[in-house]
Amino acid sequence: MTLPGSPHIAYRGDDLYIEGRSVAALAREHGTPLYAYSQASMLDALASYQRALTGRDHLICYAMKANSSLAVLQTFARAGCGFDIVSGGELERVLAIGVAAKKIVFSGVGKTRAEMRRALEAGVLCFNVESEAELTLLSEIAAAVGKTARVSLRINPDVDAGTHPYISTGLKGNKFGIAHEDALANYLRAAALPGLEVVGIDCHIGSQITDAGPYLDALDRLLELVEAIEARGITIHHLDLGGGLGITYTDEVPPSAETLVRSLLERIDARGHGHRKVMFEPGRSLVGNAGVLVSEVLYVKPGEQKNFCIVDAAMNDLMRPAMYQAWMNIVPCVKRAEPAVLLDVVGPVCESGDWLGKDRELAVRAGDFVAVLSAGAYSMSMASNYNTRGRAAEVMVAGDAAWLIRDREPVAALFAGEHLLPTG
């Protein structure tokens, strides 16, 4: 039985499998909470972009904030991806797996001096600049270190992506990007500043987008700007159209990446811009449906108004439900032949907001394992140590093989960098 999301995560009889491995067996082997990922699911999702871009000058830069585990980065690097980073730490992660800095674009609204300097020294492909102040600072630092910073301005097109307000990034009220009406003036300034080379234009309007319409609206506004910029003598070499394509958590039906990209390329060609390099920054759509969070049922607790399934995973392991009120499918790793009960699936953290799913019909007992599906994106990457809880272990599955790609975080590591007050 195939579940919504990835065909590589499905039931075989009563047992949930991720590719060729039983999820319950992985939990017994590695303990819980446990993140497990399907490598085939990641590569299939990437292939949908790659098919549409065949024959085009392009670069797919994985937006690694979705999931920055080294083995995940390695999977995409081996498949030819570049990387979209938003911090100095993410830069170091990409460099640690041996990727050349020339395949990295540096995004983010609050780059520090130290981050800019390190990225310049490493030789990143491009800085996606988000404000006039950032342009000025980047020019100053580039001139000081004798480097040229290749820049693309991230434009805020004031387009509603129709998504959760916390993950909408393309409206005037959002902190991201340079306002559409201010873009031309900032391109003229960038072209005049020392240490900067204008190479492209960038736009990203949000995340978990399930309709192609906002992308096309943003693209039209971007191409209008390109024409105005080039009319003033500044060449735009690449169009960076961002990411944000949604996935199926329950009943969402986003366009396939191939369909979306083809429609964007058709619009680009129709407006006479087909000679330009195109770049995309997908994150969630590559890894979201590839992962599950596996947790052991600790107690089933009946109540007067609610019944609770208390598990060993918590909001520190998976923030999306508490932060976004996100609905994520929760299923038993081994089905039981008994009636299901309506339960709230909650963790052990001392917060009423510590829940993974509300009003779920499950037939489970203490000692069973459950899996939260579509947990490959913005899950482990957002994990914390709240309540002094170590972060989960991670496993990558490819066919019948499975590799431990992150050790479970030991408690001693959580305070290893802390210092007691002096005695006396």
Residue 331 near residue 370, CB atoms below 8 Å: yes
| CA distance from start to end of the chain | 65
SS3 content of the chain, % helix, strand, coil (to 5): 35, 25, 40
> Which ranges constitute the DSSP H helices of 58-152?
70-78, 88-96, 113-122, 132-145
Site of tokens 């871009």? 53
Cα separation values, 423 from 416, 418, 419, 420, Å: 19, 15, 12, 8
333 is catalytic: no
- Rounded Cα distance between 278 and 58, Å, is 5
Question: What are the phi and psi torsion angles at 299 (to 5°)?
Answer: -150, 150
- Rounded Cα distance between 36 and 24, Å, is 11
Residue 261 near residue 53, CB atoms below 8 Å: yes
Q: How many CA atoms lie within 13 A of 261 on its CB side?
A: 27
Q: Which of 81, 309, 333, 350 is catalytic?
A: 350
- Rounded Cα distance between 38 and 43, Å, is 9
Site of tokens 């939990």? 27
The closest of 80, 242, 244 to 161, measured between CA atoms, is 244
Helix (H) or strand (E) run with residue 412 in it: helix 411-414
Active site amino acids: 350
